[in-house]
């Protein structure tokens, strides 16, 4: 132990090592190698993850033991030890430091200065993205978007897995092991299985998304497409946040999001995102969106633990970017949701017309009633088996969108 301290003290005494400054994340590098390259470390919890295995003086306390476990977990998950500073990684990948930093930040990681914290996998990722740009398959801006969209999606997934999944599975048992000690063997067992499952789901989703895009009628629709976009919003959620305990509120939100996600997927829609008390979904077909909206109302209405729900749906041109949707149609759906009575689905004029065009709802209830009467009297053909009914509501001004005429959507008969 004393010999380690002596060596560390001698190493810290050189002029070269004193010149190494703290990195941007607050970590102070320990020194420099013979080439003058930083060999520091970031604090635990940083993207860099903490001290390298075997470095420093091992103190007899729980904090150091947890740090060692954190380092081992990082090496297990990443599959490699730290070898490179950001500069060394960029140089090995053959990309500029500026581009490497842009990729790193786009993936959602903090700047780490020139700490030796990156692995061969980081170099390979940089090389692959840069190679796609060099080959002309992606522009530099698009490559950054790929990094950002992937980083944002997987960051949320990783947070959920740690907060919910691992937390429940690492509950200390009668073995006498702490949660920290249980985590390593658990991750070791789950990691390859979860990795394979993640790739499988991604391929399935990619195949489904590609199929939707190639069915577009023309090139313009492959980017700006006509979709039905809907919001479902829990009524009185703000009041619930004051009344419920945090754990109860979390369980309610999770139950709402899970139920909504299952219903949207089961009926052929796509869940775009969840916002706690609100979900945003989309569908290529107005009839599918109408079914989803009504199913949400009906399902939540049968759950006594859930507050009332309101849904707004609009149909029109939508711009899609990084898995999200934008445009006037999305804004209109949001506004319709905010004015919808509880346990009601409101739709816009374009959505009502689309349901009429596809035969899912009558263009005119009066005409439908007349056709039914004529069929009963034997003087006309029966009307189509409409699934939905539409009732026009009072026109009203909607902030930022002018005057709109909402329609109340219900099931027919």
**Hey, which of 7-21, 203-217, 276-290 has the most confident mean pLDDT?**
276-290
Range with the poorest average pLDDT among 162-171, 282-291, 334-343, 350-359 = 162-171
Residue 407 φ then ψ, to 5°: -125, 140
- Whether the per-residue pLDDT at 367 is higher than 80: the answer is no
3-state SS, residue 401: coil
- Closest by CA to 109, choosing from 23, 237, 180, 193, is 23
Residue 138 φ then ψ, to 5°: -135, 145
**Hey, which of 13-22, 215-224, 296-305, 364-373 has the most confident mean pLDDT?**
296-305
pLDDT band of residue 280 (cuts 50, 70, 90) is very high
Q: What percent of the chain has pLDDT over 90?
A: 33
Instruction: Report helix, strand and coil shares of the chain as percent, to nearest 5.
Output: 50, 15, 35
pLDDT of residue 156: 81
pLDDT band of residue 294 (cuts 50, 70, 90) is very high
Q: What percent of the chain has pLDDT over 70?
A: 73
pTM of the full structure = 0.61
Q: H/E element holding 411?
A: strand 407-411
Q: Locate the domains of the chain by residue range.
A: 2-148, 219-411
| pLDDT one-digit tens code per residue, 312-348 | 999 999 988 777 888 999 999 999 999 999 999 999 9
pLDDT band of residue 174 (cuts 50, 70, 90) is low
pLDDT band of residue 281 (cuts 50, 70, 90) is very high
pLDDT of residue 17: 37
Strand partners, 347: 313, 407
Residues 6 or more apart in contact with residue 77 via CB below 8 angstroms: 187, 191
pLDDT band of residue 113 (cuts 50, 70, 90) is confident
User: CATH number of the domain at 219-411, please?
Assistant: 3.30.70.1230
pLDDT band of residue 62 (cuts 50, 70, 90) is low
Cα separation, 79 vs 158, whole angstroms: 17
């Amino acid at each position: 132990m004393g010999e380690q301290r002596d060596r560390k003290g001698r190493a810290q005494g050189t002029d070269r090592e004193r010149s190494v400054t703290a990195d941007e994340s607050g970590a102070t590098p320990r020194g420099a190698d013979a080439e003058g390259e930083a060999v520091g470390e970031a604090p635990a919890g940083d993207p860099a993850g903490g001290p390298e295995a075997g470095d420093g003086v091992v103190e007899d306390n729980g904090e150091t033991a947890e740090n060692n476990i954190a380092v081992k977990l990082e090496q297990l998950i990443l599959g490699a030890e730290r070898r490179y500073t950001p500069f060394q990684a960029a140089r090995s990948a053959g990309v500029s430091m500026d581009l490497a930093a842009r990729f790193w930040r786009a993936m959602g990681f903090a700047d780490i200065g020139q700490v030796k914290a990156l692995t061969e996998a980081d170099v390979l990722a940089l090389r692959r993205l840069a190679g796609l740009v060099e080959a002309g398959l992606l522009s530099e801006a698009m490559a950054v978007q790929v990094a950002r969209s992937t980083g944002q999606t997987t960051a949320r997934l990783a947070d959920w897995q740690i907060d919910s999944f691992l937390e429940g599975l690492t509950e200390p048992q009668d073995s006498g092991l702490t949660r920290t000690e249980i985590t390593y063997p658990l991750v070791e067992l789950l990691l390859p299985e979860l990795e394979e499952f993640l790739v499988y789901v991604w391929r399935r989703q990619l195949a489904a998304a590609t199929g939707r895009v190639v069915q577009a009628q023309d090139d313009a629709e492959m980017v700006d497409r006509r979709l039905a976009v809907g919001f479902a919003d829990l009524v009185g959620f703000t009041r619930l946040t004051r009344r419920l305990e945090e754990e109860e509120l979390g369980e309610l939100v999770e139950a709402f999001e899970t139920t909504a996600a299952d219903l949207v997927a089961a009926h052929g829609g796509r869940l775009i995102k969840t916002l706690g008390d609100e979900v945003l979904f989309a569908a290529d077909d107005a009839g599918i969106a109408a079914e989803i909206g009504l199913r949400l109302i009906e399902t939540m209405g049968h759950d006594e633990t859930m507050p009332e729900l309101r849904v707004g749906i609009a149909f029109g041109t939508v711009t899609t970017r990084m898995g999200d949707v934008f445009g006037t149609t999305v804004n209109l759906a949001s506004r319709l949701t905010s004015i919808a009575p509880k346990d009601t689905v409101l739709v816009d004029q374009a959505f009502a017309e689309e349901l009429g065009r596809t035969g899912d709802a009558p263009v005119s209830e009066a005409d439908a009633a007349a056709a039914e009467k004529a069929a009963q009297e034997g003087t006309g053909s029966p009307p189509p088996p409409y699934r939905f009914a539409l009732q026009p509501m009072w026109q009203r001004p909607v902030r930022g969108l002018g005057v709109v005429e909402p329609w109340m959507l219900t099931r027919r008969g």
